Amino acid sequence: MQEKKSALEQHIAVFGESGSGKTVLVSSFYGAAQEASFLKDSLYRVVADDIGQGSRLNRNYLGMRDEGTAPDVTRFALTSYAFSIKLKDPPNPKAAKAQPFHALRLVWHDYPGDWFEQGVSGEEEAQRRVDTFRSLLGSDVALLLVDGQRLRDHAGEEERYLKSLLSNFANGLISLKDKLLDDGVPLVQFPRIWIMALSKADLFPDMDTFKFRDLLDLKAADDLNELRKVLAEFVQDPSAMSVAEDFLLLSSAKFEPGRIEVTERVGLDLVLPVAAVLPLERHAKWSKLQQLPAKVAESIINGGSRLLAAALTGKTRPGPLGVILALLSPDIIEEAAQMAGDKLREVNAEAIAKQNYLTATLTRFQMDLDKGEEARIILRSLR
Ligand SMILES: Nc1nc2c(ncn2[C@@H]2O[C@H](COP(=O)(O)OP(=O)(O)OP(=O)(O)O)[C@@H](O)[C@H]2O)c(=O)[nH]1
Ligand SMILES: [Mg+2]
């Protein structure tokens, strides 16, 4: 979590094999947010920092919506997409001043799928992989995609597909390790929340997060443990880490022969909540349960987290002092992480009434996660 001018920056890393649906996912995420119907009701707008990239994503989306064609493959393309989540301006300047920040930035890193499946061809290529991996180290959350199409192609012998997916991935990580760690010293900053996400979930009408978790446990428990071990070697204090403890279903559209129904999406509305507020909740839990070394604690709970917590609780008062007071409150993170149910709805309603769109948006994200959990589209770590 990084603070940048008056925007709070969050990164998310998406790992998936070639063809697993990464480009369609980001296109559908962005394109749907440009629809008039979204803009009419939403408290925020999603704007691509690079206009050209934004229009390419929207073109991908329109191609699906209007022509039933999926975007071209983007083999070997390593791409980061930066989006600003711009909040509607509060109507009065006093309310605007009370906001600790005015926008969220989401940086979405695509890790090229082919890199799991093929060895490196030469030193230059090896260096490119390391550089790409380094660029996503600032992400709190990583999504590891299980390709729904390939899973379905392996019906009855899913373990074969899952084993190859997870072991390719683990091996890919091992091959980067020496280059990524200086003198073998584990990293403090590294994605610590690894969510297993089923892409193309529309191919499984009866799937839910519990069934998905059970399928992984039944068919790939050993491979997941191996992956946990490999990932743990990258970080200082791996007890503050959750690998394959959270599960998400994703479908970017309903794909039918000759037709792509983009309005039927699953889980995409949870991407922003997952990037923006899930880490705060998890970090609060870790810092309470574990005696984290100061360096690790500061890296995962920093100034950005405190700003976010202040914004989420809506505790800030107009004027710079109001923001500072909220930030100084020792329990602000805990308080934000604990907000749930009626209390959350109350803070949300109050924020809407006061036209505090920042608090309204963040509490809405928190409510979306709760709703997603009820609908079994997301399952958060039970630990
Ligand atoms: N049923 C279904 N099919 C999907 C979905 N998303 C993607 N697909 C299909 O999967 C194909 C590949 O998706 P891409 O997004 O291009 O895959 P990618 O991960 O970007 O692949 P690379 O660029 O090669 O790494 C698409 O052309 C679609 O046919 C989905 O949500 N549901
Ligand atoms: Mg792609």
Cβ 68 under 6 angstroms from ligand 1: no
Ligand lying nearest the CA atom of residue 72: 1
Ligand lying nearest the CA atom of residue 15: 1
Phi, psi of 115 (to 5 degrees): -70, -15
Per-residue pLDDT of the chain (383 residues; tens, 9 = 90+): 555 457 788 889 999 988 999 999 999 999 999 999 999 889 899 999 999 999 999 999 999 999 999 988 766 566 789 999 988 777 777 767 777 777 888 989 887 777 767 666 777 877 888 888 888 888 899 999 999 999 999 999 999 999 999 999 998 888 888 888 988 899 998 999 999 999 999 999 999 999 999 999 999 999 999 999 999 999 999 989 999 999 999 999 999 988 999 999 999 999 999 999 999 888 888 887 777 788 888 877 777 788 888 888 887 665 566 566 666 666 788 888 888 888 899 999 998 888 888 889 999 999 999 999 999 999 999 88
Cα of 20 vs centre of ligand 1, distance in Å, is 5
Ligand 1 binding pocket mutation candidate from 255, 261, 377 (most atoms within 8 A of CB): 255
Query: For the packed helices 357-374 and 303-313, what is the interaxial angle rounded to 10 degrees?
Result: 90
Cβ 355 under 6 angstroms from ligand 1: no
| C-beta separation of 339 from 311 below 8 A | no
Nearest-CA residue for ligand 1 atom 27 is: 70
Nearest-CA residue for ligand 1 atom 26 is: 70
* pLDDT value for 101: 78
Q: Which residues surround ligand 2, an ion (CB under 5 A)?
A: 22-23, 74
Cβ 267 under 6 angstroms from ligand 1: no
Domain 2-275: give its CATH superfamily: P-loop containing nucleotide triphosphate hydrolases (3.40.50.300)
Cα of 86 vs centre of ligand 2, distance in Å, is 26
Cβ 164 under 6 angstroms from ligand 1: no
Ligand lying nearest the CA atom of residue 255: 1
* pLDDT value for 329: 67
Ligand 1 binding pocket mutation candidate from 15, 23, 152 (most atoms within 8 A of CB): 23
Cβ 113 under 6 angstroms from ligand 1: yes
Cα of 28 vs centre of ligand 2, distance in Å, is 12
Cβ 21 under 6 angstroms from ligand 1: yes
Cβ 252 under 6 angstroms from ligand 1: yes
* pLDDT value for 321: 60
Ligand lying nearest the CA atom of residue 14: 1
* pLDDT value for 319: 59
Measured distance CA(74)–CA(222) in Å, rounded: 32
* pLDDT value for 31: 96
Ligand lying nearest the CA atom of residue 20: 1
* pLDDT value for 149: 97
Q: Which atom of ligand 1 is nearest to the CA of 24?
A: 15
